[in-house]
Amino acid sequence: MIFPYEYRNMAIVRLKKDLDVCIQFQLRSGEKAWVRRMRESDLEEVHEMECILFDDPWSFDNFRYEVVRSAVSWPLIAETEYEIIGYAVPWFVTDEMHLANIASSPLYQRQGIAAKLVIVMLDEAMRRSIRIVYLEVRPTNKAAISLYKTFGFETLGIRRRYYRNGENAILMQRFLPEQSSNLFLAD
């Protein structure tokens, strides 16, 4: 399984004109949205969302480092014409990808935003010939666990007391095929 069937036939296209934009899609409301690379000008809005969503948020400087200085980071945002509705920060190191952070706006949750971000990251991972993808997720985050399983992630183990509040993390992994061409997004 490369991508789950339900995501294979979505009306998602790669936009070649704007290399920053990875995909464009339509929300259930009919509103147009797209995923693109995160920019420094996005950081205030992204950090504000992070602080709303998480008890132990990344700092503004963490996000700024990922966008401005990190050699391994490939941060993304999902947005509408009016606002940022989600973001993700994957790290690409040698033949591995680690999904360090992903979130969607409380107003847009359960609309497939995280799925779109995962699709773009897995597509980029395959383009880079990445062999394995790792992520950590809270055991209480059933929606995220279900999403990751839909994309073929399996539980590898538990990271004890991983989060600042002492909560464990489930470590999940997914192997990618050796083929390095884009297997999902149309050129």
d(CA 86, CA 44): 13
Both tokens of 13, joined, read 């296209």
Question: How far is the first Cα of the chain from the last one, in angstroms, to the nearest whole number?
Answer: 21
pLDDT at 16: 40
Architecture of domain 5-175: 3-Layer(aba) Sandwich (3.40)
pLDDT at 28: 84
d(CA 178, CA 29): 37
Closest listed residue to residue 74, CA positions, set 89, 87, 63: 89
pLDDT at 17: 42
Closest listed residue to residue 111, CA positions, set 26, 6, 23: 26
**pTM of the entire predicted model:** 0.86
pLDDT at 19: 52
d(CA 145, CA 51): 21
Closest listed residue to residue 84, CA positions, set 66, 107, 57, 64: 107
What are the residue ranges in the chain where pLDDT is below 50? 1-18, 186-187
pLDDT at 186: 47
d(CA 148, CA 20): 25
- CA atoms within 13 Å, Cβ hemisphere of 174: 25
pLDDT at 18: 47
Q: Where do the structural domains in the chain lie, given as residue ranges?
A: 5-175
pLDDT at 48: 98
